Amino acid sequence: MKSLQKYFGGMILSLLEIFVGVLLLINPFEFTSGIIMVLGAILLFVGLICLFRYFREEAGKAALEQNMFKALIALSVGGFCVLGNGFIVEISAFLAFVYGAIMLVTGFSKVQKTVDMLRLKKTKWYFTAISAGITVVCAVLILFNASTAAEWIFKFIGITLIVEAVIDAIAVLFGGKDKVEEPVGEETEKTEEPNE
């Protein structure tokens, strides 16, 4: 049951990556603008909840949880995302750099997964290794070319998302079927209870 949930979770994530990649290819700036607006609205909502919780709780507990501070941060960032949306899109090269950094971290996590699969003696580890390699290479390319035309960067991000998602989907389809192999020659020792 757990492996089935992991399988469907991986496939849904891959489909979402493909969807985002296609949207970035079709209209990168409007899609980015929409994402920023949605993020801003979520942060505003979170800020209002934190503010409500701050005034509802007892003074001592409220001081410890610092919900007023969290509310001010969330409301400020959320308001900036909603009201300063045009400015954020204008600095899209910076956003591409941030995305490249996030993508690099994702690539490193896939490297970890590849090594884990090798150590667990899974035979289909190379699918994850290919995905990790492509993610890291694409992330490096984005990081070192973030100052070029922003539209091309976002289109490149869209292409890399689609390619990465397709490879991830293949890794989910073929990589999760192996069972962990027991090391040959090792037997589990049974502990016998002393006779009384």
3-state secondary structure of 142: helix
pLDDT for residue 60: 80
Contact assessment for residue 31 and residue 69, using Cβ atoms and an 8 Å cutoff: no
Rounded to whole angstroms, the Cα distance separating 19 from 17 reads: 5
pTM, rounded to two decimals: 0.48
Structure tokens at 133: 């390699």
Backbone angles phi, psi at 147, to 5 degrees: -85, -5
Residues 65-92: what's their mean pLDDT?
82
Backbone angles phi, psi at 80, to 5 degrees: -65, -40
Contact assessment for residue 97 and residue 148, using Cβ atoms and an 8 Å cutoff: no
pLDDT for residue 108: 93
pLDDT digits (tens, 9 = 90+) for 132-180: 898 898 888 888 877 665 667 777 777 887 887 888 778 777 765 544 4
Neighbouring residues of 92: CB distance < 8 A, sequence distance ≥ 6: 28, 29, 32, 150, 153, 154
Burial tier of 8 (Cβ tally within 10 Å: 0-12, 13-18, 19+): exposed
pLDDT digits (tens, 9 = 90+) for 43-56: 999 999 988 988 88
- As separate numbers, helices (DSSP H) first and strands (DSSP E) second, the chain gives 8, 0
pLDDT for residue 178: 47
User: Lowest-pLDDT range, 25-34, 50-59, 125-134, 176-185?
Assistant: 176-185
Q: Where are the alpha helices (DSSP H) in 57-84?
A: 59-65, 67-83
Rounded to whole angstroms, the Cα distance separating 63 from 78 reads: 23
